[in-house]
Amino acid sequence: MRRGLAALVSLLLAGCAAPIAQRGPVWPAFAEDPAALAAQFPDSASVARRLLAATHQAGDSASVRAGLARLAASGYAPSQATIDTLAPHVPEPEMAALRLRFAANGARVQASRIFATVPAEHRLAGSLFGLAVDERHQLLWLASGVVEQTPSPDTAFRGLIAIDLATLRPVRRVPVEGAGSPADIVVAADGTVYASDPNSGAIYRARAGDAALQILVPAGRLRSPQGLVPAADGRRLYVSDYGYGLATVSLADGAVSRLESDAGTMLDGIDGLVGHDGRLIAIQNGTNPRRILLLTLSRDGNRIAAARVLESNNPDWSEPTLGALRGDDFLYVADAQWDRYGPAGALQGEGAQRPTAIRLLRPSN
C-alpha cells in the first residue's frame, strides 16, 4: 500500500462503478511450489519471476527460456543485471530478440500533465489511507489504520471515519475489531462502504447503522487486497490483490474468484483501481515498469478482454498510487514519497520533502 498527503484532493473526486463479473475460477490456496503458484496465478509477473529464479538455481535452461519469454510477453522489463545473469541460458539470436522486447516494454509513455500539487508542509496526523465520496449523502469517508510508519500505533484509530462535506466535521466512526487496518475504500451505489486490509487480506464492509466493520472476506483469503470497484448491479466487487492479480468477490457470501484475462499482460502490482464506463483503470506501481492500464471487460464482465497502456515509466513519477475520476478526467497521486518515512513516521533519506504531484490523464485520448 502506497499513500501520499496528496490524497486530500479526493475531496474533488468521484468514483465510478464497473459492470458485474460472473463467478470465474475459484481463488486458489497459496501454493509454496513456484510452478504450482505460477499455474494458479498466470497474470502475475512477481510469481513468474519467482519461478524463473527457481529454474535458474536448478540450472534448467529450457524453463528459464520459457520464463523469460513469458515475462517479455506480459510487458515486464527486467533490470540489466537480471538479463545479464540469465543470458547464458539463452542462445543468440533468441536473447537479442528478448533484449529488444524488454527494452520496448520499458519505454516511456507520457500522457498526463500536472493538475495540482500539495505543498510539502501540508501534513496529516496519524495514518489516513484511502478516501471515497458518498455523493448521495454528502459524506467523505476516510480509512484510518496502522502501519510501520504510524507515529503512535497504540492509540491510532483503526476503522472508517465519515466527514460531513458541508461542515467538514466528523459525523460517524466505524471501528474495525481486533488488529485490522483498513486502507483502500469504495462507496457502492447503496451507500455501503467497502474496505480492503492489505496486511491481513480481509475485506470489510460498513452498512448504515453498523456499529463496527463487518467481515466480508476473512483474513488470509487474499494475500494483499488493494483497490476495489463495485459491480454495476451491486452483487460483486472487483479487487486487486497486489502480488497475484485481479479477483472478484461475491457480496452475497464473500466467495473469491480469479478474474480471468485474455489480455496477456501482467496484472499484479495494482494499487489504485477505478471503474470507468465498463472498464477498469489500474495504477500498477508494483511492477517494472510502473504503468497505468485501461482494462476492457468482456460483455458479461467475466474476464478482461483487452488492455491498453495509458502511461508507463513516466520520468516525472516517483510512485503513482491512488486515483479517481472527475468527469472524463482521471486524477491520480503521482509522487507518494512512501520511501521517505521510516518507523514511527521518522523522515529518512537526504534532501527536503517534495510537493506531492497530482496529475491529470484522459483515458479516452
Is 363 within 8 Å of 276 (Cβ atoms)?
A: yes
Reading the block at residue 295, the C-alpha cell is 482494462
Domain coordinates in residue numbering, the chain: 5-27+110-361, 34-105
Which amino acid makes up residue 249?
V
185-187 sheet: strands from edge to edge: 185-187, 193-196, 203-206, 214-217
Reading the block at residue 103, the C-alpha cell is 527494452
Dump pLDDT digits (tens) for 83-123.
999 999 999 999 999 999 999 999 999 999 999 998 888 77
The CATH superfamily assigned to 5-27+110-361 is: TolB, C-terminal domain (2.120.10.30)
- pLDDT exceeds 50 at position 1: no
Which amino acid makes up residue 240?
S
Dump pLDDT digits (tens) for 156-194.
899 999 999 999 999 999 999 988 999 999 999 999 999
- Residues 6 or more apart whose CB falls under 8 angstroms from that of 298 comprise 262, 304, 305
- pLDDT exceeds 60 at position 15: no
- pLDDT exceeds 50 at position 147: yes
Identify the three-state secondary structure at position 6. helix
- Residues 6 or more apart whose CB falls under 8 angstroms from that of 319 comprise 2, 285, 290, 335, 336, 337, 338, 339
What stretch of H or E contains 34? helix 34-40
- pLDDT exceeds 60 at position 145: yes
The more confident residue out of 33 and 344 is 33
Dump pLDDT digits (tens) for 29-74.
777 899 999 999 999 999 999 999 999 999 999 999 999 999 999 9
Task: For residue 280, list its beta bridge partners.
Answer: 275, 295
CA distances to 102, 116, 245, 263 from 269, rounded to whole Å, are 18, 25, 7, 16
Identify the three-state secondary structure at position 56. helix
User: Kind of pairing, strands 169-175 and 159-164?
Assistant: antiparallel
The more confident residue out of 66 and 16 is 66
Is 203 within 8 Å of 148 (Cβ atoms)?
A: no
Given this model, what pLDDT does residue 124 score?
Answer: 64
